[in-house]
Every structure is written in C-alpha cells, then in structure tokens.
C-alpha cells in the first residue's frame, strides 16, 4: 500500500466538487477532488455536460452545412475551426484555393488566435485574483472583434471560410484597422509585462506550480502552448505547414520548466509572434479572387478519407473525414486538444493545494464545449 492509498483509506479524506461551473472554463466542467486538508490526493475531471453530438451531426448533413457547427466547438477560436474544416474538405474534394484567400484566412485566423489568447490572459489573471488586466485585455480584444466584424459580420461564431475561399473580401478599411491594432499592441505588450509578467505576486503564484513533465505530456497527448511550455517546439504551423505558413518568419516560443508561469509566458510570446505573422501576411497579400467560383453547391467528394491537422489556439486539432461519394461524410471525427490538456490534470494535481489547482486549471486553458462537442 503506497502513501496515497493509505491516505485514501483514511476517513480524513473528503471529496470536493470543483464545479460543475467554474469561471475559468466558460463551459461546464466538474472536477472531483479528494482532499486531505488543503492537499489534493486525487483528481478526476468529469466531462460531457455540454455534449451536443457534433460529430454525429456532421455525418447527417452536407459538408457545407456542418460549417456553422465547427465554430461552436471551440467558440473562442471559431475561425480557426472553420479554417481547419474547409482545409480538410478541400483536400478531400481536391478544390484549389486562390492565393489571396489563403492569405486572408491566415490573417483572420491569427487575429482570432490573438483574441483567444487575450481572453485567456484576462480570465486567467481574474481567476488568480487580478481584476485590472482582465479589463485591459478585453479592451484590446474588442479591437480584434471590431476588425473581424468588418469582414465576417460576426463577433464570435464567424462561419467565415468557405470551400475554395472566404465569404467576403478584405478591404482597405480592414487592413487599416489591422495595422492600427498591431501598432497599438506594440505599446501594450510593455504595459502587460510591467503589470503582470514582472508582478511578484503573480510570479510566486505560478512559478514551479503545476509542472508537467515532457514524458507525461506526451503520454496524455498534450499539445499547443502547454506542450511548448515543457520545452518541445512542436507547432503544426511549422512541422506540417498548411496554407502559406511556410512563407512567414516566426519563432515558436518554448519554455523550460513546464510550470504555469512557462505556460503563461509561451502564450504571451505567441501573441507577439501572431502579430508578426499578420504583419508579414499583410505585406505579401496578393491581388486576385477571394473565392473560387468552381465549387458546386452540392459537394460530393470522391470516395476516400482525409486527415487534416492544424494549430488551433489550444493545440493540435484535426478533422478526420471519410467520404463514400455521397453529399454527407460517412465518418466525421474531430481531434480536440483540450481533451488531452485537461486530463493531464489527473497526474498533475495530486500533491498540490486547492488554491494552486485554480492557478493550474486556468493556465491549461481548456475550452469545455470542445471536449464535450
């Protein structure tokens, strides 16, 4: 009988329900914690409260009809999910995408990635007790939403991408707004660093807290900023470049310790790298069509299967589609990063304190509807 089992058998241990609702997750998550005093001995995330059957829905409708569903899985980076889905279908049906559309998608996706990280930045600090950065981050995020609003007409669930392009071309107003946003952020990074990154209380709450070991991360399939914080420079945009990501010069931020502070740091620098990508994409933006007119209204891809991975704001996300030649996919499977990212808590939380559990849970940045889907 090892130490943990001994404590478990002891009636000093009691269960605590963290959730079913928790502000950091914006979804419905319940974590069953077994506590020994202030210490966690066992952690068991309970998922499935937000199950809507998106995969099954995908198999019961035409390809294009599944588009609005995709942005409702990870609602914070809905555009990235749209993007990934059209990539998969385009690969399956062999649709060629105009160059301009590729650039527009990359610009919009990176803007969405920054907005997702900014929301995480604000809410994470809110979770661990800092209210001011939340207000600043949402102010910045509002600029992104306004910018995306001018081309997509929507603020959260964009449904912007189409097979063979995007719904609406970008104009000079959008480009000006994006440039203004990038310029604005230059001074904001310094503000955030002074306000948060250098803040001694924040550092003490996050340094060496919730350390994820590289091997543990690999076992659970942790991807995205959480994996990069462990020191593995894995990014789908670099390892398997889709669209035009191979044409941009950007770094992949990595951490060394794999703790909550590293995860914060990686996401923070990732936002700056996204700004760099947008800047380069705006410079290289070619003229031309934004939507190829050759795609039939009722798309029936040839028999076959396709697996397309892309980097969403939370990590490696992938669509696996099987076509039997009919207008609806035979199988539609979605690989979401948050599932692995959340379940690694099973091994990370035991041994830490309840107050740290909040700091760790927030730093993982999970979106529950994406897991439940």
Give the separation between CA 41 and CA 13, rounded to whole angstroms: 8
Q: Rule CB under 8 A: say whether 178 interacts with another protein.
A: no
By CB under 8 A, name the one of 24, 25, 69, 323 that touches another protein: 69
By CB under 8 A, name the one of 195, 244, 285, 295 that touches another protein: 195
Q: Rule CB under 8 A: say whether 131 interacts with another protein.
A: no
The separation between the first and the last C-alpha atoms of the chain, rounded to the nearest angstrom, is: 39
By CB under 8 A, name the one of 7, 49, 167, 322 that touches another protein: 167
Q: Rule CB under 8 A: say whether 191 interacts with another protein.
A: yes
Q: Rule CB under 8 A: say whether 335 interacts with another protein.
A: no
Pure H helices in the chain: 3-9, 54-59, 67-70, 78-93, 99-127, 132-152, 172-192, 200-206, 214-220, 225-228, 236-239, 260-284, 337-343, 345-348, 354-364, 368-372
Of 311 and 372, nearer to another protein (C-beta) is: 372
Give the separation between CA 143 and CA 305, rounded to whole angstroms: 39
CB-based burial label for 294 (10 Å; 0-12, 13-18, 19+)? exposed
Give the separation between CA 80 and CA 67, rounded to whole angstroms: 12
By CB under 8 A, name the one of 106, 196, 230, 277 that touches another protein: 196
By CB under 8 A, name the one of 1, 94, 172, 200 that touches another protein: 200
Taking the alpha carbons of 233, 144, 83, 367 in that order, is the dihedral positive or negative? positive
Q: Contacts with another protein in 262-301 (CB under 8 A)? A: 297
- Please give the size of the binding site for another protein, defined by CB under 8 A: 34
Q: Rule CB under 8 A: say whether 47 interacts with another protein.
A: no
Of 151 and 345, nearer to another protein (C-beta) is: 151
Residues that bind another protein (CB under 8 A): 61-62, 64-69, 72, 132, 136, 139, 142, 146, 149-154, 157, 159, 162, 167-168, 191, 194-196, 198-201, 297
């Amino acid at each position: 009988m090892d130490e943990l089992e001994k404590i478990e058998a002891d009636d000093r241990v009691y269960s605590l329900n963290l959730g079913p609702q928790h502000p950091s997750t914006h979804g419905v998550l319940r974590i069953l914690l077994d506590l020994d005093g202030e210490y966690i001995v066992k952690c068991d995330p309970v998922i499935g409260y937000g199950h809507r059957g998106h995969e099954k829905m995908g198999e019961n409708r035409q390809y294009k009809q599944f588009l609005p569903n995709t942005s409702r899985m990870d609602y914070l980076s809905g555009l990235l999910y749209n993007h990934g889905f059209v990539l998969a279908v385009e690969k399956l049906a062999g649709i060629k995408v105009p160059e301009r559309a590729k650039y527009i998608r990359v610009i919009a996706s990176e803007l969405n990635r920054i907005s997702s990280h900014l929301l995480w930045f604000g809410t994470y600090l809110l979770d661990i007790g800092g209210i001011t950065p939340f207000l600043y981050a949402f102010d910045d995020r509002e600029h992104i939403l306004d910018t995306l609003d001018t081309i997509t007409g929507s603020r959260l669930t964009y449904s912007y991408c189409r097979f063979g392009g995007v719904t609406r071309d970008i104009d000079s107003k959008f480009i000006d707004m994006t440039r203004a946003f990038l310029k604005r952020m230059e001074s904001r990074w310094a503000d955030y660093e002074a306000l948060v990154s250098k803040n001694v209380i924040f550092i003490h709450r996050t340094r060496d807290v919730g350390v994820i070991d590289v091997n543990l991360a690999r076992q659970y399939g942790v991807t995205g900023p959480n994996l990069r914080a462990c020191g593995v420079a894995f990014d789908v945009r670099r390892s398997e470049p889709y669209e035009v990501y191979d044409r941009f010069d950007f770094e992949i931020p990595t951490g060394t310790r794999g703790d909550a502070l590293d995860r914060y740091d990686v996401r923070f620098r990732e936002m700056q790298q996204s700004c760099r990508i947008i800047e380069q994409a705006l410079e290289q933006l070619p003229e031309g069509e934004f939507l190829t007119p050759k795609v039939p209204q009722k798309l029936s891809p040839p028999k076959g299967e396709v697996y397309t991975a892309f980097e969403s704001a939370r990590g490696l996300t992938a669509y696996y589609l099987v076509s039997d030649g009919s207008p609806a996919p035979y199988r539609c499977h979605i690989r979401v990063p948050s599932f692995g990212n959340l379940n690694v808590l099973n091994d990370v939380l035991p041994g830490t304190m309840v107050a740290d559990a909040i700091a760790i849970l927030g730093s993982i940045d999970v979106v529950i509807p994406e897991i439940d889907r």
